[in-house]
Structure 1
Amino acid sequence: MLRGNQSYITEFLLLGLTTDPKQQTWLFASFLIMYLINVFGNSVIIAAIQGDARLHTPMYFFLSSLSLVDICFTTVIVPQMLVNMLTQRKTIPFAQCLTQMYFFVAFGITDSFLLAAMAIDRYVAICNPLHYTTTMSPRRCLLLVTVSWVVSHLHSLTHTILMAQLSFCRSNVIRHFFCDVQPLLTLSCSDTSVNELLAFTEGSFVIMSPFIFIIISYVYITRAVLRVPSGGGRYKVFSTCGSHLTVVALFYGTIISVYIRPSSTYSITKDRVVTVIYTVVTPMLNPFIYSLRNKDMKQALRKLTRRSE
């Protein structure tokens, strides 16, 4: 499409992680395996929770919701990347690129809100156990999950609408393996100040506010645990929170380093590697993190295994 003397872009070229055919072969195999492990592992977690009445509690309700989002989060990115590696056709239409960006941002923010909901659940269970049943009622748990989805999708929709209004008339090469906000902004020939301001302010808010809730929750949890007289009691409490803290550290340790900063400091090579961790590796590891140290989950998985035999 032409406007004046400028040719406006209708599709982008995703360079991926590498252009070396030899490296693409083992990368294709690696990402395919990680994706299948992610889908299978998180599906098993959901099935185990649904199939065991003892796990029909707020904590496991949030965990099954997180597993569902993790599957969706990775599915938005990896299949398209695998197709690009397999066919060597790396182009993606503008509309499809925006769609991918929309769902990537939406599911990523939903992940962070669900992690915050899980932290609040642990805070109520440990610090206010007598009021746990009424505070974390099924209705309130459902409301927390619903709000997480709605706020995340509204946030993503705002970014997508603003991005759709930009003009792209320079290079159409995205030096990334999927359509993300920052790589697209660097290609625009329009004024992106509003987009960048929104990404840094409102974007920081929706990422950091759940993180702050998590930090505050664990400050109170730590204070409560330190009052427990027996060492065994402290270990039991911390073991129930250890899995969640591990996932939080993996998720926020990478995502903050990419998004909570001005776009002028964006580094293609560094951020591409870090992005792989929170988009592919962390969702794949979550089922193992939550099941290996959780006695109830192990029992539910054994029950599921016996049922499938």
Structure 2
Amino acid sequence: MIDTFLFKSHLISFEACMTNMFFVVEFIAMQSLTLIVLSYDRYVAICSPLRYTEIVTNKSILVITVILWLIVGTANLFSAGFMSRLSYCKSTVIHSYFCDHGPMPHLACNDNTPSVVMNWVLPVMVLWFPVLFITGTYMCIGRALLKIAASERLKAMKTCTSHLLLVSVFYLPILITEAMGSAIDKNTKIINMSLSTLMPPLLNPFIYSLKTAEFKESIKKLYRRKIHITV
């Protein structure tokens, strides 16, 4: 991406393109599925607080995460394998800042049916299933919050803010792009996709560290020191 935007390099070899496509899709999927695991964690913490330490263990989260990553990784390998078997005798221009899986099958002149099918399967696994799962967990969380006192409700809601912020930053640009379909401008689509792939990793350290007491205390000390120097 840096090579494309900063150095205006618009060429990539076929092998590098396949590698780029695999890892971009894999890391986007990992980010999406990690948000599922975090929503499950919040669901258990609020809806079954007394059983939280029993259900949410390092082992259980590791098993869930590995299973999700293996499923998407396997599907991604099949997708890259189908793509590598195509003959690209039409245009070789991809309107994206990475080797996007979506438009590539349409550049081929031989049978692209398996790749087109994977174009439907991967979004369902990486986008629609996570969105539906997270929406379902927060509906359950919302119902559970209505049954507790207002003071406890506010405390419980604070535990979800960082996760909801990441969910919004990650999914909203993709959902807008998917909803607009072919009507969306190519440059707008590139911007939306770049926001979804770049912003969550950049914001992760800030969002989660702001919840850490030590980090807040360090900020307060710096602020007091600045005031003291000014005075």
Q: TM-score, normalised by structure 2?
A: 0.84
Match of 1:278 in 2: 196
Match of 2:157 in 1: 238
Of the candidates 122, 126, 129, which is equivalent to residue 49 of structure 2? 129
The answer as to whether partners of 1:204 and 1:259 remain within 8 angstroms in 2 is no
Question: One-letter code of the match for 1:90?
Answer: H
Match of 1:198 in 2: 118
Cα deviation 1:247-299 (Å, max 9, x = unaligned): 1122111223445787x66752231111111012232123223333x2xx242
Cα deviation 1:63-118 (Å, max 9, x = unaligned): xxxxxxxxxxxxxxxxxx22344544431110110101001111111111110111
Match of 2:224 in 1: none
Match of 1:287 in 2: 205
Is 2:80 the counterpart of 1:143?
Answer: no
Instruction: Give the alignment of 1:189-268 within 5 angstroms.
Output: 189-229=109-149, 231-258=150-177, 267-268=185-186
Displacement of 1:205 in angstroms is 3.5
- How many residue pairs are counted as aligned between the two chains? 219
Instruction: Give the alignment of 1:82-121 within 5 angstroms.
Output: 82-121=2-41
Q: TM-score, normalised by structure 1?
A: 0.64
Change (3 A) 1:115 1:268: same
SS in structure 2 of the partner of residue 177 of structure 1: coil
- In structure 1, C-alpha distance between the alignment counterparts of 2:16 and 2:89, rounded to whole Å: 18
Match of 1:31 in 2: none
Identity %: 32
- In structure 2, C-alpha distance between the alignment counterparts of 1:301 and 1:164, rounded to whole Å: 50
Question: One-letter code of the match for 1:256?
Answer: L
- In structure 2, C-alpha distance between the alignment counterparts of 1:154 and 1:245, rounded to whole Å: 28
Question: One-letter code of the match for 1:275?
Answer: M
Greater RCO (CA < 8 Å, at least 6 residues apart)? 1
Of the candidates 96, 110, 114, which is equivalent to residue 176 of structure 1? 96
Displacement of 1:215 in angstroms is 1.2
Is 2:214 the counterpart of 1:299?
Answer: yes
CA RMSD of aligned residues (A): 2.4
Change (3 A) 1:193 1:259: farther
**Which structure shows the bigger proportion of residues in strand conformation?**
1
Question: One-letter code of the match for 1:136?
Answer: V
Displacement of 1:142 in angstroms is 1.2
Structure 1 residues without counterparts, runs of 5 or longer: 1-80
SS in structure 2 of the partner of residue 108 of structure 1: helix
Cα deviation 1:128-181 (Å, max 9, x = unaligned): 111111111221111122123212211211110111111111222222211111
